[in-house]
Structures are given as C-alpha cells and as structure tokens.
Structure 1
Amino acid sequence: MSNTIKYKDYIGSVEYSAEDRVFFGKVEFINDLVTFEGTTVEELEAAFQEAVEDYLEMCREIGKQPEKAFKGTFNVRMQPELHKQAARVSIEKGMNLNQLVVEAVSQYVQHAH
C-alpha cells in the first residue's frame, strides 16, 4: 500500500482525517507549499492534478522555474570514520566516492522491496 500519488513527475502525500472525513496531502520534495484535498479518492486525485497544474501555471505567470521533485543530487552527512572508510573502499574498487554511494544506494533500494 502506498500513501503517495504521482502526476507529471511530482509526488503527493496522502493522509486521511477521520475527524473531518477528508483525504488531504501536499506536493512533496519541493520548497513551495502546494496542498490538496478531497472527500473521495477520485476527488483527491483530481485535486492533486489540479494543484500541480496550478503550481506550474503560477510559476509561468511569475517567471519562476518550477521545482522538480528530484534533481539527481543530494548531500550525504555521515560520521567522519564512515566517510574515511567509504573513501578507502572507493579507491580500492577504482571508483570515486559518488559512484560508491550510488552503487550502495542502488543495492539497498533493490533489496528493500
């Protein structure tokens, strides 16, 4: 079961408020706050798509480049000793540290499901 929905490379979170009897969510992994809601799954999906379209239109109107959920780069923070060990292993394997991290994350993701 997934608590996310997707549209045009954007990912929306999905939550449910029993008190309000409404599904709601926000566009994830961007700095702007873009929210949506609906009382049925169909309404929620339509509201999410409309929210993404409104976000893209607003960006066009103000001349802002829309954020993409994933750019392919991120910073990794780790303990100095682990950093040192990873650098050593990357040299031993004849790759740079970035390639080692990509390989490690790929292997982890493949075995996570």
Structure 2
Amino acid sequence: MINVIEINGEKAVVTFDPDIQMLRGEFVGLNGGADFYATSVHDLIEEGRRSLAVYLEMCREKSIEPRRKFSGKFNVRLDPGDHAAAVIAAAAAGMSLNEWIIRAIRDAAESNNRGA
C-alpha cells in the first residue's frame, strides 16, 4: 500500500517496510533526499516535520534551491500496441494524444490524492 501525505506543504509518499517493521516517508519534489521513519502515523508526521526542517535549513545554509524544477516535458516509452490503442482512444474522445494523456495523468493523480 502506498499513500501520500502532506507535511508543511510538501508531499511525501508513505510505505511500510516489512524488514524493519516501520513506516517510511519520503518527500517527493525536493532536490535531495529527506526520508523519515516511525512506528505510528502520528510519530511519522512528527519525524517528517523534523526531517523537512533539517533539510530546508541545510539548503538555506548552502544556498541550494530545495525544490525540483519541472519542465513540463518528459518522454514515455511504451509498447507499439499500447501507443496505437492510446491514439485510437484519444481520437474517439475528440482529443489529441497529448490532451488525452494529460487528462489520464490528471485523473490518476486526483484519484491518488483522494486516497484511492
């Protein structure tokens, strides 16, 4: 099970590590690693706050931009059959392939943010 939580405005992916029997949080969208562990959700959020504060302070001290910049462009490699199916689905929806993919990504991201 993978979940996303927000701590002080930053998103973190939460997973369970069965080897150490702990919850693990990892901030996404940062330029560096800032992960944190705990045995309860409450403690995980507190550890996340501490980890994020240390990370941001380090970035300030070293004049490093803490957040990743996204260009809005990325390449996707997929099976030719899946490519063809996507083109057909996009055309059937009256959209370009790019519009259709943007909608699919947004729908999937919104579903994940709702805890689906």
TM-score by length of 2: 0.60
Runs (5+) with no aligned partner, structure 1: none
Runs (5+) with no aligned partner, structure 2: none
User: Which residue of structure 1 aligns with residue 53 of structure 2?
Assistant: 53
Q: Distance in 2 between matches of 1:111 and 1:95?
A: 21
How many equivalent residue pairs? 112
User: Which residue of structure 2 aligns with residue 9 of structure 1?
Assistant: 10
Matches within 5 A, 1:38-49: 38-49=38-49
What secondary structure does 1:46 align onto? helix
- The CA deviation at 1:48 is 0.5
Q: For residue 76 of structure 2, what is the amino acid of its counterpart?
A: V
Residue identity (%): 28
What secondary structure does 1:45 align onto? helix
TM-score by length of 1: 0.61
Q: Distance in 1 between matches of 2:45 and 2:111?
A: 30
> CA separation of 1:15/1:69 partners in 2, compared to 1, >3 Å: closer, same or farther?
farther
Matches within 5 A, 1:1-113: 3-7=3-7, 8-15=9-16, 22-28=22-28, 30=30, 32-68=32-68, 74-87=74-87, 90=90, 95-107=95-107, 113=116
Q: For residue 97 of structure 2, what is the amino acid of its counterpart?
A: L
Q: Distance in 1 between matches of 2:96 and 2:25?
A: 39
Q: Distance in 1 between matches of 2:17 and 2:85?
A: 44
